[in-house]
Amino acid sequence: MFYLIRTPGWVKKVYKNRVWDMNTSGKELFLSFDDGPHPEHTPFVLDELKKYNAKASFFCIGKNVLSYPEIYKRIIEEGHTVGNHTNDHLNGSKTTDASYLANIKLAKQYIDSKLFRPPYGRISGFLVKQLLSPVYGLKTIMWTVLSGDFDVKISKEQCLQNVILNADKGSIVVFHDSEKASERMKYALPKVLEYFAAKGFLFKAISI
């Protein structure tokens, strides 16, 4: 599995109609969580965030919102933002444009948000433009730093280092509140919060 921990500057320039980081002059970090809500892992994340009065962004799968509406409701009630992550975690490079858009539209019935993140980061420029249209009204949110918590081949310590060594002010950091990522996420997230809070960072939700 090949992936870049930190998004290079040239990628941001080539794909500039997507959001890769947040423009801020202060020491602010933008944590995000993909694939929830999950009955065990999302509450863990919410509890940890609360310890630091931290706000974050949750890119939710539509079918999971339907399965766990109370957890989805808690995310919103605690001041976090939500985003559309398709209804069934579709891979944009393995799905027709029509099917992909229909799946996003289905999730949009349950997820009231102007934010969208493509699963696996796979989405064409054509689809990004389609989502920006009034029909969808969705801005594609990518990331500055991948924690790598989804990668079963790395250690939980490496997951932590991926964030600590690469995140800075304005960075959008990706974690996952999912079964696959849980061991690494549950180790790294509390330490990331502690480390950056000690350096005077605030944790903000993505707002476009």
Active site residues: 34, 176
DSSP symbol at 29: E
Q: Using the 8-state DSSP alphabet, how is residue 83 labeled?
A: E
Q: Is 109 exposed, middle or buried (0-12, 13-18, 19+ CB in 10 A)?
A: exposed
The upper half-sphere exposure of residue 79, i.e. CA atoms within 13 Å in the direction of its Cβ, equals 9
Q: How far apart are CA 158 and CA 121, in angstroms?
A: 21
Residue by residue, DSSP assigns 132-199 as HSTTT--EEB--SEE--TT-TTS-HHHHHHHHHTT--TTBEEEEE-STTTHHHHHHHHHHHHHHHHHT
